[in-house]
């Protein structure tokens, strides 16, 4: 843990596009109201899919956020990412034109990226609409990050984290590490995803999806729903933020990573891997478990994931675990895969600043096997000085971050 002013990392801006609406205010107000934006998919033909519930972005107007050239050049996931990034930069009041662009980087996670372009190509080969081969340039995993860096005209490090559904959390942790190492002054950090038939069908085939509602930690929970959108944060060194007069009140204080090495898609039932990532993040932040005031859980609403998280949180926090308010975002906007952890980082920053915790949409009948304080029903006022966010993913990847209000 490094606490010198030049090496501390702070969140100065947030931007989002989600099923609850475009912009962080729409996301935050929807969460506070306990709304669920999950609905049947409209973006593509869902014939043959057992479950079509998703957190689809339905009110995004690219022309309202991007110029015509950008709209034409970027695919849907790129449009989401750039829109959220621009909102985060406005929120941070960071003018790139007056900033050393060689010291500004992009860390953008995605698990799907330009996969819809690949699907369009395959449809064209089987009698579908004509396909412009230039769309295949969107397909590589790193394309979302590199195109975002190009659109913003920044010249610092460009990274595409790739640890499946923990990537958005890892992105925030990477920003912290790069600032500590002096590799940049500011980073546009987050994740972006877009719905596609292949991944929805894939989760259907794993029998991991629900047909009616996502219910994190609820005794009736029976699966997840895929979501889309983008969540972006501006993370700066505190010295850089203070030098330009920006607010430096929320630190990214620590990060941790681990692996289960148990199964390609299922979590370790005992939660040992997730527990190691959380404990590592706390050590990195030089904080004890009892100092945590809020937990943003992975909370997918699948039977095994939620049970694993209960075990992991109990292992890390011990007797304090039942007293720490906990929230999951996925009943509201779905599981946004590589963007999920970045959405949760935005929620953590908002909770730290507002002292209000949103209810967990979909959780109504708390599982008796979950002895944790899952906030449900209505928003709760609660002073929060330290927040922890945890993510788990395919291949046993786990990531956690600790954020702190100064």
Q: What is the CATH number of the domain that holds 264?
A: 3.40.47.10
Listed residues 222, 243, 264: the one ending a domain: 243
Written as six digits, the tokens of 3 are 């606490």
Distance (Å) of CA 168 to CA 42, 164, 337, 376:
26, 9, 8, 25
How confident is residue 379, by pLDDT bands cut at 50, 70 and 90? very high
365-370: average pLDDT: 98
- Same domain for 314 and 349, yes or no, is yes
pLDDT tens profile 240-291 = 999 999 989 999 999 999 999 887 777 788 999 999 999 999 999 999 999 9
pLDDT tens profile 327-350 = 999 999 999 999 999 999 999 999
- Same domain for 219 and 105, yes or no, is yes
Catalytic, out of 14, 165, 196, 363: 165
**For position 112, what pLDDT does the model report?**
80
- Same domain for 155 and 239, yes or no, is yes
- Same domain for 54 and 129, yes or no, is yes
Q: What are phi and psi of 148, to 5 degrees?
A: -65, -45
Catalytic, out of 138, 197, 240, 298: 298
Contacts of 7 (CB under 8 A, 6+ apart): 179, 180, 182, 237
Examine the pLDDT at 393 and tell me if it is beyond 80.
yes
- Same domain for 340 and 234, yes or no, is no
Is 4 inside a domain boundary?
no
Catalytic, out of 138, 240, 327, 335: 335
- Same domain for 362 and 235, yes or no, is no
CB 160 within 8 A of CB 109: yes
- Same domain for 106 and 31, yes or no, is yes
**For position 121, what pLDDT does the model report?**
66
**For position 142, what pLDDT does the model report?**
80
pLDDT tens profile 169-197 = 999 999 999 999 999 999 999 999 999 99
* Alpha-carbon gap, residue 345 to 186, rounded angstroms: 17
**For position 267, what pLDDT does the model report?**
77
- Same domain for 285 and 388, yes or no, is yes
Written as six digits, the tokens of 201 are 């069908």
How confident is residue 124, by pLDDT bands cut at 50, 70 and 90? confident
CB 11 within 8 A of CB 349: yes
Contacts of 401 (CB under 8 A, 6+ apart): 169, 172, 173, 176, 252, 254, 255, 256, 281, 341, 345, 348, 388, 389
Is 248 inside a domain boundary?
no
Q: Is 181 a catalytic residue?
A: no
Residue 305: closest CA among 264, 362, 266, 339: 266
Number of domains in the chain: 2
Q: Is 335 a catalytic residue?
A: yes
Residue 40's DSSP bridge partners are: 53
pTM for the whole structure: 0.95
Is 218 inside a domain boundary?
yes
Is 1 inside a domain boundary?
no
Lowest mean pLDDT among 23-27, 50-54, 137-141: 137-141
Identify the residue whose tokens are 């060689």: 102
Residues 68, 90, 7, CA angle at the centre, nearest 5°?
125
How confident is residue 133, by pLDDT bands cut at 50, 70 and 90? low
- Same domain for 133 and 223, yes or no, is yes
Residues 299, 304, 306, CA angle at the centre, nearest 5°?
25
**For position 400, what pLDDT does the model report?**
98
**For position 138, what pLDDT does the model report?**
63
**For position 358, what pLDDT does the model report?**
98
Examine the pLDDT at 5 and tell me if it is beyond 70.
no
Residue 300: closest CA among 189, 211, 218, 399: 218
* Alpha-carbon gap, residue 317 to 301, rounded angstroms: 21
* Alpha-carbon gap, residue 243 to 195, rounded angstroms: 40
- Same domain for 261 and 238, yes or no, is no
Structural domain containing residue 34: 9-243
- Same domain for 48 and 94, yes or no, is yes
Q: What is the mean pLDDT of the chain?
A: 93
Q: Is 165 a catalytic residue?
A: yes
85-99: average pLDDT: 97
**For position 243, what pLDDT does the model report?**
95
In this structure, the number of other CB atoms found within 10 A of the CB of residue 276 comes to 20
């Amino acid at each position: 843990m490094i606490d010198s002013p030049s090496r501390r990392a702070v969140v100065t801006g947030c931007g989002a596009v989600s099923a609850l609406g475009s912009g962080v205010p729409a996301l935050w107000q929807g969460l506070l109201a306990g709304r669920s934006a999950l609905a049947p998919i409209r973006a593509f033909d869902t014939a043959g899919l057992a479950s079509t519930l998703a957190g689809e972005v339905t009110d995004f107007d690219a022309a309202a956020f991007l110029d015509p050239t950008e709209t034409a050049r970027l695919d849907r996931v790129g449009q989401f990412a750039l829109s959220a990034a621009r909102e985060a930069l406005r929120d941070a009041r960071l003018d790139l034109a007056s900033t050393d662009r060689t010291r500004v980087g992009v860390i953008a996670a995605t698990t799907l990226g330009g996969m819809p372009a690949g699907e369009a190509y395959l449809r064209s080969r089987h009698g579908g609409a004509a396909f412009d081969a230039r769309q295949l340039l969107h397909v590589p995993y790193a394309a979302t990050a590199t195109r975002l860096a190009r659109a913003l005209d920044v010249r610092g490090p460009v990274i595409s984290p790739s640890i499946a559904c923990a990537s958005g959390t890892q992105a925030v942790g990477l920003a912290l590490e790069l600032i500590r190492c002096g590799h940049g002054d500011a980073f546009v950090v987050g994740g972006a995803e877009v719905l596609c038939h292949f991944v929805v069908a894939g989760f259907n085939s794993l029998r991991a999806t629900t047909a009616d509602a996502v219910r994190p930690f609820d005794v009736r929970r029976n699966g997840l729903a895929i979501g889309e959108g983008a969540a972006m944060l501006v993370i700066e060194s505190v010295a850089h933020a203070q030098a330009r007069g920006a607010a430096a009140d929320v630190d990214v204080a620590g990060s941790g990573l681990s692996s289960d090495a148990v199964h390609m898609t299922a979590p370790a039932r005992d939660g040992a891997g997730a527990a190691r990532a959380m404990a590592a993040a706390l050590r990195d932040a030089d904080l004890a478990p009892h100092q945590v005031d809020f937990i943003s859980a992975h909370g997918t609403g699948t039977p095994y994931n939620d049970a694993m998280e209960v075990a992991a949180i109990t292992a890390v926090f011990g007797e304090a675990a039942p007293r720490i308010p906990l929230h999951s975002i996925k009943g509201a906007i779905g599981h946004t895969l590589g963007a999920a952890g970045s959405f949760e980082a935005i929620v953590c920053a908002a909770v730290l600043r507002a002292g209000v915790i949103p209810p967990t949409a979909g959780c109504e009948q708390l599982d008796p096997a979950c002895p944790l304080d899952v906030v449900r029903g209505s928003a709760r006022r609660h002073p929060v000085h330290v927040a922890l966010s945890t993510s788990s993913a395919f291949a046993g990847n786990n990531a956690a971050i600790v954020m702190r209000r100064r």
